[in-house]
Chain A
Amino acid sequence: MASTTSIRGGVSADVVYKKSWVRRMGPTGIIMEIIKYVLLIGLAFSFMLPFYWMASSALKNDDQVYTYPPVWFPNPRLWSNFGEAWTIKNFNQMTFNTVVRYAIPATFGTLLSSTLVAYGFARVNWKGRDALFAVVLATMMIPFQVRLVPLFIIFKNLGWLNSYKPLVVPAFFASPFFIFMLRQFFRTIPLELSDAAKIDGASELDILFRIILPLSKPALTVVALFSLLGCWNDYLGPLIYANKEPDWTLALGVNGLANTLYESGMKTMVYPYLMAVSTIITIPVLIAFFFAQRSFIEGIALTGLKG
């Protein structure tokens, strides 16, 4: 603030203006300020509305669902909806499928392979490296639909349909997005560190695991987070490869729950149950975001700025 006041009125004015923010901003300034906060709070409110609607509707009973005007503060609140919705379909199994069969192995594979590849692109000098890296970036442009059909046929021929192999195995071959992200990060680590280690006789793998990785925890966290989140949120992948009910992920399960409820005549409870399950599967995302907000935001900003 000091810089703006000094431009306007010099040092002596500083004292006077500081006494009152009203005088400092002037009438137009105050109006602008009000508009700004009205906008911010209005936007924030409309951004949160869907989440409030989801969580509050999860507690409704069948009288409160189809009413006009709608119920904003359900009373009574049916906390039992969460447990009931969770057991109508086998959501425990689906959580297991999503996390243990899909997210964890795919993330492990992505971390391992993308780290190695990014190291090769960032910290080893070899002919053709930059040209090949351009190819890596170019593959991000290929729409997934072009590969969708042939990959499906390849996995069918391998006998991998109705399993998680088509979703997990390719993760062990590095993903362009994460290669790019880790390469950007690895390049910021001073080369002198590697040179010193080399003089002491360390191999490239030693350098990667003993020097680079311990310094790259923030970047690795971002990759792990994005990968876990990508699996947790993925809909199309499991829809194609894991579409038998025992193999369903949570995302497919929510869809399946809707169908079951419509077919079984429990129509009135469709929305509360769906909202209950939606709330449950949003909570882990919220918790992850709450604890790793910085990683999320800096990770995304990193990919954009250097692009």
Chain B
Amino acid sequence: MTAWIYRTTRLSRQEFRNQVTGILFVMPWIVGFLTWTIIPLLSSMYYSFTRYDLLRPPVFIGIQNYTNFLTDDDFMTAARNTIWWVLLSTPSGVISAFLMAALLNTKIKGRSGFRAIFFFPSIIPSIVTATVFAYLLNIQYGAVDSVLRLLGLHAIPFLSNPDWAKPTLLLINMWAQGGAMVIFLATLQDVPRELLEAATVDGANTLQKFWSITIPMCSPVILFNMLMAFISGFQNFDLPWLLTQGGPNKATEFISLFLYRNAFLYLQMGKASALAWVLFIVIVIFTVALFRSSARWVYYRTE
């Protein structure tokens, strides 16, 4: 058998050995990919065309799960909230990370201390973030509103008012941008000094240099971070679930929460699977759109 495969591949003995060794090394991933990705994807596709409550076998109902979404107000709310979230959390998060990195990249004392402080919020457990902010932003007893009142301002119903809940999550999201910030910082340190110095000689001011040199040089990484923010924005679950349970008045009910409810609280596995596919398709469309647009604004250094 082996000999037959060997003959048909027309590889030299060494190449054939490499072929076998290479495939053996990556075998754990191949097996895992089939078991934990391909089979689930296919079965998820199938379940999305069924009604399935885990107790009785799935019943094929065609595209009904999908068409039902069009008239489902809860779905529409969740979809609107999710789009709102992705469109606003992506730029606000990336800008927040970029500005922090730019600030850290200037000549400052104690850079590593500031960097550590800016980075740390991004690695703490989401349950801690949720628990702390629930108290911190409490309208009556929280620290933030009491400071606002001391300054003579109105207290803000951060988590208890539907109009404020999503912007509040946005702020918390900007607070936890350490990962993207560190990536930006490494990129900023890579911007060639000669370019900046040449521009100084030509009379460019700081802002012009930032706009015409620093940002273009960082644009591939801006694209990368936007992509990451996009993907995680669509899957945002922990904080809205723990802080606001999707409320108040469904203001933070995102697709991922809606999906979790349908799957694990209402046991509507078919509907949940269809939701997941809608989410997947939307992510793909957004990603392709982002990549298409990137040809116009991303600058690749040729080396």
**How far, in angstroms, from A179 to B26 measured CA to CA in the complex?**
10
Given A116-B28, A278-B132, A305-B221, does the pair A286, B120 have CB atoms closer than 8 Å? yes
Partner of B201, one of A7, A117, A127, A135: A7
Q: A146-B279, A150-B44 are in contact. Are A124 and B21 (CB under 8 A)?
A: yes
Check: B136 CB closer than 8 A to any chain A CB: yes
Interface residues of A in 40-94 (CB under 8 A from B): 40, 43-44, 46-51, 53-54, 57, 65-70, 72
A225 to B12, CA, bound (A): 42
Which of the four size classes fits the interface of chain B? 35 or more
Cα distance A293–B18 in the bound complex, in angstroms: 38
Q: In the bound complex, do residue A66 and residue B183 qualify as a contact, i.e. CB atoms below 8 Å apart? A: no
| Residues in A whose Cβ lies below 8 Å from that of B152 | none
Q: Which of A10-18, A99-107, A168-176, A215-223 contacts B (4 or more CB under 8 A)?
A: A168-176
Within 8 A of A (CB), among B237-295: 237-238, 242, 255-256, 259-260, 263-264, 269, 272-273, 275-277, 279-280, 283-284, 287
Cβ-closest chain B residue relative to A136: B29
Cβ of B26 and Cβ of A132 under 8 Å apart? yes
Q: How many inter-chain residue pairs (CB < 8 Å) link A and B?
A: 261
In angstroms, Cα B44 to Cα A145, docked, is 10
Chain B's nearest CB lies how many Å from the CB of A57?
6
Instruction: Tell yes or no: B63 within 8 A of A by CB.
Output: no
Please pick, from B22, B41, B136, B221, the residue contacting A124 in the complex, using a CB distance under 8 A. B22
Is A255 located at the chain interface by the 8 A CB criterion? yes
> B185 near A: Cβ within 8 Å?
yes
Q: Which residues of B, 130-168, contact A by the 8 Å Cβ criterion?
A: 131-133, 135-136, 140-143, 146, 149-150
Cross-chain contact B182 with A66 (CB below 8 angstroms) = no
Given known contacts A120-B25, A301-B182, is B37 in contact with A147 (CB within 8 Å)? yes
Q: Footprint of A on B, CB under 8 Å?
A: 11, 15, 18-19, 21-26, 28-33, 35-37, 39-41, 43-44, 47, 54, 100, 103, 106, 108, 112, 114-121, 123-129, 131-133, 135-136, 140-143, 146, 149-150, 175, 179-180, 182-183, 185-187, 190, 197, 200-201, 221, 224-225, 231, 234-235, 237-238, 242, 255-256, 259-260, 263-264, 269, 272-273, 275-277, 279-280, 283-284, 287
Name A's B-contacting residues (CB within 8 A).
3, 7, 36-37, 39-40, 43-44, 46-51, 53-54, 57, 65-70, 72, 113, 116-117, 119-121, 124-127, 129, 132, 135-136, 139, 141-154, 156, 170, 172-174, 179, 204, 229, 232-233, 235-236, 240, 250-251, 254-255, 258, 271, 274-275, 278, 281-282, 285-286, 289, 293, 296-297, 300-301, 303-305, 307
